[in-house]
Amino acid sequence: RQRRCGVESVRVDLSMTFQFELIATDGRARAARLSLHPRESRTPMFMPVGTQGSVKGLTSKQMEDLRCQTVLGNTYHLENRPGSDLLKELGGLRRFNNWSGGTLTDSGGFQMVSLLDLAEISEDGVTFQSPIDGQQMMLTPERSIHVQNGIGADIIMALDDVVSSVHHESSRFEEATRRTLRWIDRCVAAHRRPSEQALFGIIQGGLDQTLRDACVEGLRARNDNLPGYAVGGLAGGEEKDAFCRVVAQCTASLPDDKPRYVMGVGYPLDLVVCSALGADMFDCVYPSRTARFGTALIPEGVLRLKTAAMASDYRPIDSECDCMVCMRYSRAHLHAKITKEPNAASLLTYHNIRYQMRLCEQMHQVTYPTSKHVDDASTASVGFSSVAFQNEFPGLTMSDGNR
């Protein structure tokens, strides 16, 4: 047990292959160990999105070199191609991609937003029209879990009714919140591999405090069947202040002894803010998607390598970064390649993901400074202070949500 700021760490064995150990806190920020067979991950943890189970432009070996801990796959797209039956036959997503780290699959619920024009939602589930061949796919809570059982990820997500945070009809948010709670029972009943795969419940409710509280309360009533919790329905265009208030509210209401996952979060500042508010896990396409537009992540913000000023800049992207790209290539070199050679996007993706990994390592180190897996010098660039937090969110304190 580790005591920091008056809080004792707690180790909880949630299943045969999933263990969560909270080892330190600093204010509301947390550092934890998350054991996903066959390796241990440390939080805060950013998970790159690999729609088909692998990140575009990078090999599994490169992801290991970047010290990536867990990769997210998309249930809807993986079922479309190559299919969960084939993945199960081949030994699951990890073996299919020759990946040694952890895996997580979403439930397919997000496609209710991203493919809204191709989706029809009912109490039974959601029917999608494939954007590839036009065929219909009916995704019920039971089928979502069945597909994820076949894919074989370490962490699987319950199917939830997802509504864009900027939707204008309050009645739709209430409907989605109540339906999400009804669907969680169907997901739990359908789960056939609870000793091998950890099922997380997802909190919905839009920006409405009352609905968020109701969803948290409903999920906590099923706590024995849920090894972890996620905050969904955010990062969809809402104001940052509203986003932050919902994260603060939800994390303050969740159990201390289980992981907290804020879905769809990838901007570096958002990772820091959410970690400061007590979140543990994050995912987003942002690092790889922005790389394909010629943009690199740096401590000062972003570096747009297509601009003319980069043509004669012989510095690395980030002089403090330890990635292969920063060690070997100049900004001028990448500027010359970015509009002409496809591998330039891969190089920027490599750097951007390493940037996110380093940021999470640094936050873990700040919260748990006795950890030895990060050099002490690397913590210098992390701004976990209340000053930085207040500069970005002047109307919000880090204690908001403790109502």
pLDDT in tens, the chain (403 residues): 343 443 444 444 444 578 999 999 999 999 999 998 768 999 999 999 997 888 999 999 999 999 999 999 999 889 988 999 999 999 999 999 999 999 999 988 776 665 556 678 899 998 887 766 777 888 999 999 999 999 999 999 999 998 888 888 999 999 999 999 999 999 999 999 999 999 999 999 999 999 999 999 999 999 999 999 999 999 889 999 999 999 999 999 999 999 999 999 999 999 999 999 999 999 999 999 999 999 999 999 999 999 999 999 999 999 999 999 999 999 999 999 998 898 999 999 999 999 999 999 999 999 998 644 444 333 333 444 344 455 455 555 555 544 3
Question: What pLDDT, on the 0 to 100 scale, is given for residue 265?
Answer: 96
Q: How far apart are CA 359 and CA 361, in angstroms?
A: 5
Question: What pLDDT, on the 0 to 100 scale, is given for residue 394?
Answer: 57
Half-sphere exposure of 381 (CA within 13 A, CB side): 20
Q: Looking at 106, 154, 161, 318, which residue is catalytic?
A: 106
Question: What pLDDT, on the 0 to 100 scale, is given for residue 382?
Answer: 40
C-alpha separations of 351 from 34, 43, 58, 272 in Å: 25, 20, 11, 19
Would residue 283 show up in a list of annotated catalytic residues for this protein?
A: yes
Question: What pLDDT, on the 0 to 100 scale, is given for residue 387?
Answer: 41
For the range 321-328, what are the long-range contacts, defined as Cβ-Cβ under 8 Å and sequence gap of 24 or more?
Answer: 321/351, 321/354, 321/355, 321/358, 322/354, 322/358, 323/66, 323/350, 323/351, 323/354, 323/355, 324/65, 324/350, 325/350, 325/351, 325/354, 326/351
Q: Looking at 161, 270, 283, 318, which residue is catalytic?
A: 283
Question: What pLDDT, on the 0 to 100 scale, is given for residue 17?
Answer: 72
3-state secondary structure of 315: coil
Which tens digit of pLDDT belongs to each residue from 341-395? 989 999 999 999 999 999 999 999 999 986 444 443 333 334 443 444 554 555 5
Buried b / exposed e along 289-305 (16+ C-beta atoms within 10 A) = bbbbebbbbbeeeebeb
Question: What pLDDT, on the 0 to 100 scale, is given for residue 53?
Answer: 80
Question: What pLDDT, on the 0 to 100 scale, is given for residue 340?
Answer: 85
Would residue 85 show up in a list of annotated catalytic residues for this protein?
A: no
- Amino acid letter for position 25: T
Question: What pLDDT, on the 0 to 100 scale, is given for residue 14?
Answer: 47
Q: What is the DSSP string of 168-198?
A: S-HHHHHHHHHHHHHHHHHHHHH-S-TTTSE
Question: What pLDDT, on the 0 to 100 scale, is given for residue 111?
Answer: 65
Question: What pLDDT, on the 0 to 100 scale, is given for residue 211?
Answer: 98
Which tens digit of pLDDT belongs to each residue from 1-36? 343 443 444 444 444 578 999 999 999 999 999 998
